Amino acid sequence: MWDKLEDIERKFEALTDKMSSQEVASNAADFRQVAKERAGLEPVVEAFRRYRSILEQIAENRAFLDEEKDPELCSMAKEEIDKLESDRERVDKELRLLLLPKEPNDEKNVILEVRAGTGGEEAALFAGEILRMYLRFVDRRGWRAEILSKNETERGGIKEAVVRIEGDEVFSYLKYESGVHRVQRVPETEAQGRVHTSAASVMVLPEAEEVDLHVDEKDLRIDVFRASGPGGQSVNTTDSAVRITHLPSGITVSMQDEKSQHKNRSRAMLILRTRLLEAEEARLAAERRDMRRAQVRTGDRSEKIRTYNFPQDRLTDHRIGLTRHNLDGVLAGDLDSLISACRASFQAEALKAEGLGA
C-alpha cells in the first residue's frame, strides 16, 4: 500500500507542476481537465502526508524514550505515543477507504421506489410508513425529495411510490437500503391481537443522466389517456396521463399525477431512463462477474434484509447482524447510525476484496 501511496503523491505533484505550466494554463479545457484529476488525488495525498507525519512523530517520541531517564518526561512521551497511535489507526483506515475504487454512481441523485409486498392492506400501510421514514431522513440531511408517483390505498397506505431524491452523494448513502423490509406487529384490523408479518420492498437506483444512456425515439411507444382517481372517478377531462413503453426491453412506465401531459411525459421518461440504465448496468455486472448487491424486485418476506419488530421494539438488519431499538425514532427518520453501520460493514468487505484490509 505504501508504494501505491507514494506513486499517487508523485502523480499529484506532477499534476501540480503541469497546472502551472504556460501550455496548460493558457488552455482552459486542458487546465480544467488537469485540475479535476489533481482534485481527485488531493484527499489521498493529504491523508498520506498526515499519516507519514504521525509515523515520524511516533519515531521521535520512541527515540526520546530510549535516551531520557526522567520518569515524568517519559510518562508524557508515552501518553503522546498513545495519542499518536490512535491517530495513526484512524488515518490508516481513512487512507484504505480513499484507495477503494470509486463507485461511479455514488455522487448521483437517486430514484427511490417503495412497493407494498406480501401482507395485503397491512403491507400497504407499512409501505407508507417506510416512505415517510425516508422522506424524514431526507429532510434531516438537508436533501430534496420530489414525489414523482404515488398510488395510495383507501386506508392511507400505498401500493407503490416513486421519489426522486437530490443532494450530496445521495446514492452512496441510500444504496444499502434496497431490499425487502419486513414488519412484525399487531395490525389495527386484528381483533384477536395476533402478530402479523408483512413486507414492503425498496429499490434505490442511481438517476440516469442524458450522457449515461441513449434512448432512441423509434424504440418508444407513447400512449396518452385520461387520468382517473380511486374507483375510476374522472379527475381530468383531457388526455393528460402518459404511458411509455420501451419496445426492445418491454419496460413500461405510466404517469398521471400531473394535470399536464408534458409534465407526466417528462417524469415518465426520467423513470424509464433510470430503469433502463439499471438494467444495462446489471447486464454488464453479470458479464464481469461483479457481484453487486442485487436490487430486490419482489415483496417476498423470505428475501428480507431488515425486520421491524414492534412488540419487542427491535430493528434487525440481517445482512450485518445489527440490532437497534427505538423503532419510533427510526420511523421518524433517525437512520444515520443504521446507515453508517451498513456502510462500514460493506466498506470492510470491499477493503478485503481489494486486498486493503488491515
Residue pLDDT, tens place only, 26-67 = 888 888 888 888 888 898 899 999 999 999 999 999 999 888
Is the pLDDT assigned to residue 225 strictly greater than 80? yes
CATH top-level class for 110-212+293-353? alpha beta
Instruction: Taking residues 190-214, report their average pLDDT.
Output: 80
Q: Which of 13-17, 276-280, 332-336 has the lowest mean pLDDT?
A: 276-280
C-alpha cell at 295: 436490487
Which residue do the cell numbers 507514494 mark? 6
Which residue do the cell numbers 486493503 mark? 356
Give the DSSP per-residue string, 98-130.
Answer: HTSPPPTTTTS-EEEEEEE-SSHHHHHHHHHHH
Closest CA to 54 of 79, 90, 78: 90
* Residue 270, C-beta contacts closer than 8 angstroms, at least 6 positions apart: 111, 148, 164, 207, 208
Q: Is 7 exposed, middle or buried (0-12, 13-18, 19+ CB in 10 A)?
A: exposed
Give the DSSP per-residue string, 172-199.
Answer: HHHGGG-EEEEEEE--TT-TT---EEEE
Query: Each residue of 63-93: pLDDT tens digit?
Result: 998 887 888 888 999 999 999 999 999 898 8
Instruction: Measure the CA–CA gap between 331 and 121, rounded to whole angstroms.
Output: 19
pLDDT recorded at residue 299: 42
Query: Each residue of 120-172: pLDDT tens digit?
Result: 899 999 999 999 999 999 999 999 999 999 999 988 899 999 999 999 889 99
188 against 16, higher pLDDT: 16
pLDDT recorded at residue 27: 86
| Fold observed for domain 217-287 | Double Stranded RNA Binding Domain (3.30.160)
pLDDT recorded at residue 235: 52
Q: What is the mean pLDDT of the chain?
A: 85
C-alpha cell at 236: 381530468
109, HSE (Cβ side, Cα atoms, 13 Å): 17
Tell me the residue length of the chain. 358
CA-to-CA separations, 120 to 117, 154, 162, in angstroms, rounded = 8, 13, 20
pLDDT recorded at residue 52: 93
- Boundaries of every domain in the chain: 2-98, 110-212+293-353, 217-287
